[in-house]
Every structure is written in C-alpha cells, then in structure tokens.
Structure 1
Amino acid sequence: MGKLDYDYLHRYYFSTSFRRDGSSRFSKQSRWGNFWSVGASWNVKSESFLEDIQDINNLNLRLSYGAQGNDRVGDYAYGGFYSINNSLDKLGLRPSDLPTPDLKWETNLNLNFGVDVALFDNRLIAQIDIYNRQSKDLLFNKPLAPSTGYTGIDANIGSLSNKGIDGQVIGVPVKTRDFKWDVTLNFGHYANKITKLPQEEILTGSIAQYGNTKRMIEGGSVYDFYIKEWAGVDPETGKATWYKDEKDANGNVIGRVPTSLQTEATLYNQGSSLPDLYGGIANSFSYKGFDFSFLLSYSIGGKIFDGDQPMVTHLGNQYGRTWTKEALNRWTPENRNTDYPRLTIISDTWNTIPSTRFLYDASYARLKNINFSYSLPKSWLSTVKLNDVKLHLTGENLLTFFGHKGLDPEQTVSGSTYYRYPAQKTYSLGIDVSF
C-alpha cells in the first residue's frame, strides 16, 4: 500500500494511492486485486482574481477517479462445499455449492466531481458532489436450471452504472447577539442502470412466499419492480383479476384484458423503488439559554411493495389471523362493485401474488427529531460549584406524512417490506450536568 500527496502554493493539490489486496474467498489464480485512486483539487479562492472579493470566503473544486474492490461472497467460495444429509437413518455427503475457481474481485470505478463554496462571511456554505460509478465483474448468485440440482452459482455476471448527485447547503439566515437561526438542507438523486448481463434476464427480489418481485435486464435497473398488474375484482364472480397481454394471430400485443387465472397474467415493469429526490431539512434556533431544533426527512417518488398488507388482506382461509377493516367491504352478491375479493374456505393465494394491488407511491415526509433544551444561567451555578446544567426534552419520529396503507414508508433501497418493525415514536427527558 502506498500514498503520495503534493501541495503547490496551497492552491493546487494532487494525491494518488495504490493498494494490493488478497482475499481467501477467491482461488490462488485470482486472489489478488489491484486498487488505486488519483485526485486533484483547486483552491480557486487563493487565485488573484478572487482574493479581493470579500463575499466569497471559499471556492474549491475537486476531481477524483479510482478503483475499489468488493469480495462479498461466502468464505472460501471458490472451492465448493459438501453438506451432510440424513436419509433413511443414514448419513451421507452431497455437493451443496459448486466450485468457482475463476471467481474474482468485483471492481468499482468511481469518478467524482465536487464543489465547495462559502459565501457572506461563511453564512452560506454549500457542498455538491456529482458521481459516476461503473461496476464490472459483479459478484452475484447466478440462477441455474433446477435440473442441475443447484439453485445457483456464485459468478462475475455483468456490469452496472450508478450515477447521482449529493448536496448539502448550510445557511445562517439570522444572527444577532442573542439569537441565531441555522438551516441545513441535504438532498440527493441516484440512478441505476444495468449495462451488461450474461443472459437475457435474471429474476430477483424474492420476498418470502411472494416470490420474485424484480427483474434484471440490460438497460433496466436492479431496483425496477417486475410484477403483475392488478385489474380489480370481477363483479360477476368476486374473483381477483390481473391483466394479461392480448395478442393477434401473429403474436403481436394489441391490448390488455383481465384474467382471474394468475398463471395467465403478464408481468410488467411497474417502476423503480429509487426515489426521484431524497434528503432532509434541519433547523436550529438559539436564544440566550434556550435551544430548539428539528429535523425533517423526506423522499419524493419511487415505489414500495408492501409485503405486510397482504397478511391482513386474505380471504378467510387462514385461521388465527386478523383482518384489515377493508374486509367489511368484501365482494358479496349484494356488494359487487368493490376492490376486495369474495371470501372462500378453499385455498386461494391471490393476496400473496406480487402485483400492483400492494405497490404504492413511496413518497413521505417525517419529523425525525425535535429537541428543546435550556441551560441554566451561569450566575445560578456559581454558588453550587457547577459548570453547566442543561435540561432537554427530545422526541423522535413523532409525525409521518405518507399516502399508502402500510406501517412505515421509510424502508431500504430495495423498496420492499416484510415483517419489519416501523420506526418507533420515542420521548426522552434528561439533564446534563458538568462540574
């Protein structure tokens, strides 16, 4: 491992690094990977044409490019494994994982451009980064045909492109001797694209009994939902229906029609779990010994597949399980215009079929944190030999604004929920004392 930094006139900065890493997860022929980075920055504020502009306190441009490695596969994955099984009271060994002697490091090439700005006596500070991350030789468990006896094999299967922007703006709108107001705005946007795959498609995003909810194809995203489209309830029979492609004699799609046979329903791309914009807004106010602050997080756009809602949206054939109140509006011969299928005692898995029935807009805003504190005046503390006493009241996750029926809109980037605890509302009262 080596690193070199160079500074010229405190104005131009250059850096480079190199490292060689080895991992026992790969065979000897591909165990070692070479990773490096180069970067440069320019302190524009120190240039003569900006030195006399008082309103600009800092202006810095940054550019970097480098390669990072990823070895997140099972330990000793290249060698293959056997498992011990018991059949007819006899123990035996059978292959459980295929050997992968050609498996190698996944490489991520990162290009980043950044700008740092400070204005008006540092009362307005901004930092913006634009990045382009190209990942190749992706480590992935590639599905295999059931006839092989294996579900998949670890492989370097393709390439990804990840592009985005992250930014932070800090401002001080008001600043007097006794009062100060600080504002911090964070924002980000992220886009993902599959640029290379070894086969036409790979179905992913398995969620318990729901099966796969996503599809990987070249030109698509690993976060795109690929599920059936809900067509409502057949008013004549009360059965759940989904859309399927209608084709002409030549196999060309000419439209969509509903079907109550889930095996006939067509899978469609239903949008991405990635939000269009995400971030947070923090405000803090201080007046003499009083301090008040709050943080509001937000996410705009994207989809969320709610795997919890189907558990309470069933047809009555799952004993011991509660129901959603929507069941009161279920289909009956007297109530035909509804979106809730009829009840039945026979096995029917309509509610566990991934479809847009449980796919919602993931936009939300949440009051993540609110804090109020008061520091006792120093004059009160001098007689009791205390340096500082602060009383504080804090609340977390007190308010959440979102449109769908689920428990919590704030989920992982995969955009799927399944028996995850929602964020808990918490209140805390405390006192900090320093001697």
Structure 2
Amino acid sequence: MQGSFYGDILFTKDLTLHSEIDGNFNWSEAKSFLPTYSYGATGSDPAYVNTLAELQEYNTWDNFWNWLEHLNYSHTFADKHAVTALVGHEVWESTYDGIQAGTKGFTAGNTLQTLGLGTQANNTLAEPKGSSVMESWIARLIYTYNNKYSITATERRDQSSNFAPASVAPPGHQIGYFPSVAVSWRISEEPFMHGLDPVLSNLKLRVGYGTTGQSNTSGGYKYGSSIKPIVTGLGTGFSFNNFNNPNLTWETAIQTNIGVDFSLLNNRIDASVDVYDKTSKNFLFQQPLPAFLSGGTAEYSNAAVVQPPWVNAGKIQNKGIELSITSRNIESKNFRWTTNVILSHYTNKVISLNGFPALSGIVSTGFGPQIPATYTQVGGAIGEFYGYKTEGVIKTTDQLAFLAQHPQNVTGQPLIVSSDRTLSNAIYLGDMLYAGNDGKGGANKQYALGNPNPNFTYSFTNNFSYKDFELSVFFTGVQGGKILNAVKFQIQGLYGLYQNQLAPTANFWTPSNPNSNIPAPRSGFGNNNLVMSDRFLESASFLRLQNLRLGYNLPSPWATKVKMRHLKAYVGGQNLFVITKYQGTRSRSRLAEPEPPAAEYRLRQVSFSESGHLRPERRVLKL
C-alpha cells in the first residue's frame, strides 16, 4: 500500500509553503513444505527418498515514510531581477521486520502442516529487523537578470543513521555537506542574435559544478559490530556477526558539466548537448578479507563466519557526453507527430583503490564453479572481464604432441596429456586450447577480454496523436560492450551427471564428430574447459521495445456524468520484444544496460551480469 498527501499554504503571492507526506507499506507471507517421499522404477530400490518433512514459514513487512516542508519565495524586481529561493526540511525512515520459523520431522505425516507438529529439536526461529533514517536541510537561491544571465546556488546538509554518531566516534560521521553552483547565459536574448530568430530561436550555455553524497550500506548498523546466536550443546551462544568500522562515512561525487541548449526552425527542433566529468571517491563497500582473518567460511556456504567490514575506498572518474533531440515532425489540426532521441557515450577509469592491487569479481553458479570473472585495477575500467583467450578445440595429435612438451596450465597446475576424462589435471582431444602458453608449464597468460561498458546507449520515442487517439512507442538500446553468460557454465559445461544441458551441446567433439567446436565432456568443474575465458562472453548490444501505449480520450460528456474532468482508455505493454545476439536471460542488469547519461559503476556492485541468477525482465500488458 502506498499513498501521498500534500498541501500548499499561500502566505502572499510570492511566499508559499509546500507540505507533503508519502508512505509505502508492504507486507508479505510465504510458506513452503517439503514432504516425505519415495519413488523410482517399479521393482527397484527407490531412486529418490526423503524421510524428513520440512516446513518453513515467513512473515515480513517493511515500511517507508517521507515528510518534507519546502518554503518557496519568488519575486521579480524592476521587471529584470528575478529571485527564487527555497528553504526545505526533509526526513525519511525505512524499517523492516519479520518472522522466519521452521521445523522438521512431522510425526503426523504430510497432511497436517503446522509448525507445532514438528520435532522440537529441529525448530528454527529468526527475526530479521533493522531501520535507516535520513534528515536533510536544503537551501537554494536562483537569481536571473533580464532573462539572460542566471546563477543557481544550492547547499544540502544530510544526516544519516548509517554512520557513527559523535558519541561513538567523535566528532561523528553522520553529517555531510554537499554544495553546488550553476550559471547560464541565454545568448539568444542578446541583440546581436535577433536576426537569427527564424533559424536559431533559442541558444543557451550552461556550466555547473556540484557535489553529491551517498550513504547506502545495505542496512543501517554497519559501523558497529552486531552479534548472532549460535545453537550449541550447552545452549544458545553468541558470536560476532561482522567487523566494525566506526570511521565509515559518506561516499561523495564531484561533477563538472558544460551544456548547450538550442532550438532550430522556429522551435520545430529542440536539442541539448551535455559534457560532464564526474569523480567519485570513498566508495562504500565490504572490504574483501581472507578466510583465516574472518573465522573461515560457514558450513555449506562460501560466506565468511565473521562478515568483513564496510569501508570507504577507491576513486573513479567518469567522463561522457549526451545528446538529446526533440523534433515536432508534423503539427496539423487533427494529427501530430513528435520524436525524441537520446544518445549517450561515457568512459570510466579507476584512479585509486586505496592500496588494493586489484578487486576481483566472483560469480557463483550455485553448485557449479566459482568464476573469477572480472579484474578491476588502477588505470582500467570498472568490471574488466579477465581470463583466457581460446584457440579452439584440440583436434589433432600434433597439438597433443606439442602440449606434451609444453604443458598448458589454466587450472593452477600443468596439464598432462591423457585420454582419461575423469582426471581434472588431464588434457586430450576434444578439450579447449588457450593462448598464452609459456612453453614451460607455467600459468598461461590471462588477458583483458573487454568490459560491460558500451560504446554508446540510445533511446528514441515517437508520439502520435490523431483526433482523440494517441500512440506512444519507446525503444531503448545499447551498442557495444561485453556480457558474461554465466549460465553456460552450468547448462553447456558438460562436467557432470544430473545436470540438464542445452540441446546444441549434444554436438560436442568426438572422434566420429571431429569438426565440432564444442568441447567434449569432462567430469568435475575444476577442469580445463571450465575456466573463465572469452568462450563465455557475448555481445551486450540490444534493441528493446520498452514501452508501447495506445490510448483513446473518451468524450467529455462521459466524464461529466461521473463527476470527472477527463477519461481515457488505453492498452499498453512493456518489454514486448528484444533484438540481441545474447543467448542468456535478459535482465535489468545495470552492467548489461547502463543508465544514461552518467552510468557509474560502484565498487561494491558486481561488475558483470550474473545471467544465471538474475530474474528475466517481465513482459507486461496493461489495460
């Protein structure tokens, strides 16, 4: 449930107070039951058996509310000096809570599925909860002279509960100050431009400089150490859940931009060009720590027993340019057609990692291999894919003879030539051959294989109206960049039994199928064929029909009869189709689909598309 209430108080014609309260409240309930079962071929021992039924129930809720007060002043003095001022106060709070309970071993069988009928020794109970609060003060002043020259100055003071107060770490880190300033010159208002009105009806130059802050730590209490319960034979004990860092503070970004707005042909075409340089520093992310410093890894998990601390580190520079064009193609009495096109290009570079040599990005494929997919280092781009370059499938005995004398090493050890495909340290006909062999059995060279950053992003919207009918068509797309199809490791890896594979993999290399470029099966996912390489990278380019909407404005008398001013019926759809060469699941991964104009990839975010684990974007139809 969500809602918003707002009101305005007009003290004078120049002075108003805007008050607004927003809320978003969510509740969810889930239940899962795994029954006992036994089944298999008739006359044989059961192939699949579960003797212990399990019940899990979840009840969760999260609440968000926001309250703002904005005092606005606007007045023009002597017809030339326009002053607009704002003083604002905002506060929001986000809380979550819930109950997670489970039990096993139902003596009453599978029919009665309630928590009270399980075996007490198997009961589990958890209550995840937390909150974050933000308070902000805002001041903004805009001065415009004669509709030509303008300056805007803004100051924000934000205070976040995600950082330590002064009582914990003097002088405190909760408060951040974020100023900005912008100036503009409407050149088209100058006398020397008046003769160009029919062709160049508007020309405006803009320059801006400002800072912003970010406090998201995926939960509130990360500057301190929390505890977690542990069930032992002597009762419930407690251990540290995470390392603390009372000096955790705001992540900041400093941006400079220059822009030009212009209109052509009596305002038939409006366009703007923006060039920006944005430097972000003190990124908020969890510092990677070796297992021996964090109590090892938890049972049946790759997670550390004690979670690593959140830290501020790193510095990244983003540079880019964006072009936006809006054209009024046809404007007649009954028919109108307008088009909007946005093109964006950017680059990013790592300036500092605060002493870290590099950051590796690991993709988990469930029960499959752990993939060291990216390698982010100073001077390079965020999320650079890093691995081996393939040279095809080994198909000849001459290649085997070479590898016997010059062992390939992509798994941490020199690979021996053997036809035994159960050996993880062996290589033979039908296996992958990689570049970078040093000829001595040392590790093969790894290469930068590309990154998710596109050459450019684009979108275009066409709006049509004919009498009371309206049609809007919105396309978006990306050109260039790489994306990791991690699901290939599982459903095209051919490394084990009981794992479904895509149909094309049945055409793998065999002596009777010697021209295949699909490697032959080899047991275990630590083998030569399942290392990070360009074999698992694909083009991230795509064109998507993001939104389509057809509407009809119903006659005014119909609206009047139901005490309304306007009625519209429409049918629409989202994500209706995608044109792409990518074979994996499409998703709203930021790294697969950067957000123009200034896509900024954060150090704490996974710098690749985990296509095996992201939910595909839904196709939505609306009426």
TM-score in terms of structure 1 length:
0.84
Q: 2:341 aligns with which of 185, 188, 194?
A: 185
Contact 1:179 1:286 in 2 (8 A): yes
Compute the displacement of 1:324 (Å).
Answer: 0.7
Aligned residue number for residue 212 of structure 1 = 372
Q: Secondary structure at the match of 1:246?
A: coil
Inter-partner Cα distance in structure 2 for 1:390 and 1:266:
62
1:29 equivalent to 2:189? Answer no
Q: Which amino acid aligns with 2:213?
A: G
1:12 equivalent to 2:168? Answer no
Q: 2:202 aligns with which of 58, 64, 72?
A: 58
Compute the displacement of 1:355 (Å).
Answer: 2.3
Contact 1:167 1:188 in 2 (8 A): yes
Contact 1:169 1:186 in 2 (8 A): yes
Between 1:231-240 and 1:213-222, the stretch displaced more is 231-240
Long gaps (5+) in structure 2: 1-136, 296-303, 397-427, 592-606
1:364 equivalent to 2:542? Answer yes
Inter-partner Cα distance in structure 2 for 1:29 and 1:265:
51
Inter-partner Cα distance in structure 1 for 2:229 and 2:561:
74
Q: Secondary structure at the match of 2:584?
A: coil
Contact 2:329 2:338 in 1 (8 A): yes
Contact 1:214 1:225 in 2 (8 A): yes
Q: Which amino acid aligns with 2:434?
A: Y
Identify which of structures 1 and 2 has the higher relative contact order when contacts are C-alpha pairs closer than 8 Å and 6+ apart: 1
Compute the displacement of 1:360 (Å).
Answer: 0.4
Q: Which amino acid aligns with 2:140?
A: K
1:245 equivalent to 2:405? Answer no
Inter-partner Cα distance in structure 1 for 2:566 and 2:245:
62
Contact 2:184 2:204 in 1 (8 A): yes
Q: 2:351 aligns with which of 195, 205, 214?
A: 195
Q: Which amino acid aligns with 1:189?
A: H
Q: Which amino acid aligns with 2:377?
A: I
Aligned residue number for residue 525 of structure 2 = 348
1:271 equivalent to 2:416? Answer no
Compute the displacement of 1:375 (Å).
Answer: 4.8
Aligned residue number for residue 615 of structure 2 = 421
1:165 equivalent to 2:321? Answer yes
For residues 285-307 of structure 1, what are the alpha-carbon distances to aligned partners after superposition, in whole Å with 9 as ceiling and x for unaligned? Answer: 23334433322212100001012
For residues 347-400 of structure 1, what are the alpha-carbon distances to aligned partners after superposition, in whole Å with 9 as ceiling and x for unaligned? Answer: 235575432221001111122233334556779999999987755443433332
Compute the displacement of 1:79 (Å).
Answer: 2.4
Inter-partner Cα distance in structure 2 for 1:227 and 1:13:
52
Alignment root-mean-square deviation, CA? 3.1
Inter-partner Cα distance in structure 2 for 1:394 and 1:20:
41
Q: Secondary structure at the match of 1:315?
A: coil
Note closer, same or farther for the CA distance 1:44–1:235 as it changes in structure 2 (3 Å cut).
Answer: same
Contact 2:358 2:378 in 1 (8 A): no
Contact 1:363 1:409 in 2 (8 A): no
Aligned-pair identity in percent equals 29
Q: Which amino acid aligns with 1:183?
A: T
Note closer, same or farther for the CA distance 1:340–1:39 as it changes in structure 2 (3 Å cut).
Answer: same
For residues 9-58 of structure 1, what are the alpha-carbon distances to aligned partners after superposition, in whole Å with 9 as ceiling and x for unaligned? Answer: 22211122223333332333341322211111112222111234322332
Q: Secondary structure at the match of 1:278?
A: strand
Inter-partner Cα distance in structure 2 for 1:276 and 1:374:
39
Compare CA radii of gyration and give the structure with the larger one. 2
Contact 1:362 1:409 in 2 (8 A): no
Long gaps (5+) in structure 1: 250-258, 431-435
Contact 1:45 1:57 in 2 (8 A): yes
Superposed structure 1 runs of 4+ greater than 6 Å apart: 376-389
Compute the displacement of 1:410 (Å).
Answer: 5.8
Q: Which amino acid aligns with 1:222?
A: I
Q: 1:156 aligns with which of 299, 308, 312?
A: 312
1:143 equivalent to 2:143? Answer no
Compute the displacement of 1:403 (Å).
Answer: 1.4
Inter-partner Cα distance in structure 2 for 1:136 and 1:380:
57
For residues 254-301 of structure 1, what are the alpha-carbon distances to aligned partners after superposition, in whole Å with 9 as ceiling and x for unaligned? Answer: xxxxx9xxx945432111101111121111223334433322212100
Between 1:38-47 and 1:26-35, the stretch displaced more is 26-35
Contact 2:481 2:541 in 1 (8 A): yes
Aligned pair count reads 415
Q: Which amino acid aligns with 2:323?
A: G
Note closer, same or farther for the CA distance 1:266–1:92 as it changes in structure 2 (3 Å cut).
Answer: farther
Q: Which amino acid aligns with 2:432?
A: T
1:97 equivalent to 2:275? Answer no
Aligned residue number for residue 69 of structure 1 = 213
Aligned residue number for residue 256 of structure 1 = none
Inter-partner Cα distance in structure 2 for 1:111 and 1:412:
23
Contact 1:115 1:127 in 2 (8 A): yes
Q: Secondary structure at the match of 2:223?
A: helix
Aligned residue number for residue 253 of structure 1 = none
